[in-house]
Amino acid sequence: MVSEHSAGGDTSALALKILVAGGFGVGKTTLVGAVSEIRPLRTEELLSEAGQLVDDTDGVDQKATTTVAMDFGRITIRSGLSLYLFGTPGQDRFWFLWDELAQGALGAVVLADTRRLEDCFPAVDYFEHRRIPFVVAVNCFAGARAYGARDVCRALDLDHGTPVVLCDARDRASGKEVLIRLVEYAGRMHTARLLDSVG
């Protein structure tokens, strides 16, 4: 969490850090780019022949680039509340960056693709074990079989109450709705933990 102060110094704004995580090719860079009100920072590189040996591109064979460090964007949810978005790299070999990126995060969006649902298991496990609130956002790809939020929740064996929402990572309004759901959920989780600690 970061506080920002206006040039006048009399009003302050709240900036919250949010991670966007998930498997390889699920749409993390697309989501950050779609919702960001600033030109997003991207650290994408072309997929190489060497990477083909370790990156499973089955189902995302049209993908030509991959994030190697992070994506970054910013969105204002309402007056006085901005979200700083950090898109994580999807491949296992870049996971050493996750602990740094997760420092100070309010919560996370785990993007899921029902054609490759198992690819988001590591992200779900990561946030569950670190008690970082997250929502699962199912990126509804054209041509993919449609599943309801309840089906995805069961398939991922999510903790009770973890939100699952359907979205289109390319659509700004859809992405913003996912982020609002996350902020609301993370707020409830942090409040409940605070009350538990003093009760």
Please name the amino acid found at residue 19: L
Classify strands 107-112 and 65-67 as parallel, antiparallel or unpaired: unpaired
Where residue 164 falls among pLDDT bands split at 50, 70, 90? Answer: very high
Q: pLDDT value at position 64?
A: 52
Q: In 28-139, which residue ranges form alpha helices assigned H by DSSP?
A: 28-35, 49-52, 98-102, 121-129
pTM of the full predicted structure?
A: 0.81
Mean pLDDT of 174-187: 97
What is the percentage of the chain residues whose pLDDT exceeds 90? 63
Q: pLDDT value at position 16?
A: 97
Q: Output phi, psi for 21, to 5 deg.
A: -125, 175
- What is the CB neighbour count within 10 angstroms for residue 91? 16
Q: Output phi, psi for 27, to 5 deg.
A: 115, 20
For tokens 């707020």, the residue is 187
Select the more confidently predicted residue: 58 or 134.
134
Q: What is the mean pLDDT of the chain?
A: 84
Write the pLDDT tens digit of every residue in 62-92. 545 554 457 999 999 999 999 999 998 876 6
Select the more confidently predicted residue: 61 or 89.
89
Q: pLDDT value at position 59?
A: 52
* C-beta separation of 169 from 175 below 8 A: yes
Instruction: Name the residue among 25, 126, 6, 17 with its Cα closest to residue 72.
Output: 17
Mean pLDDT of 139-158: 92
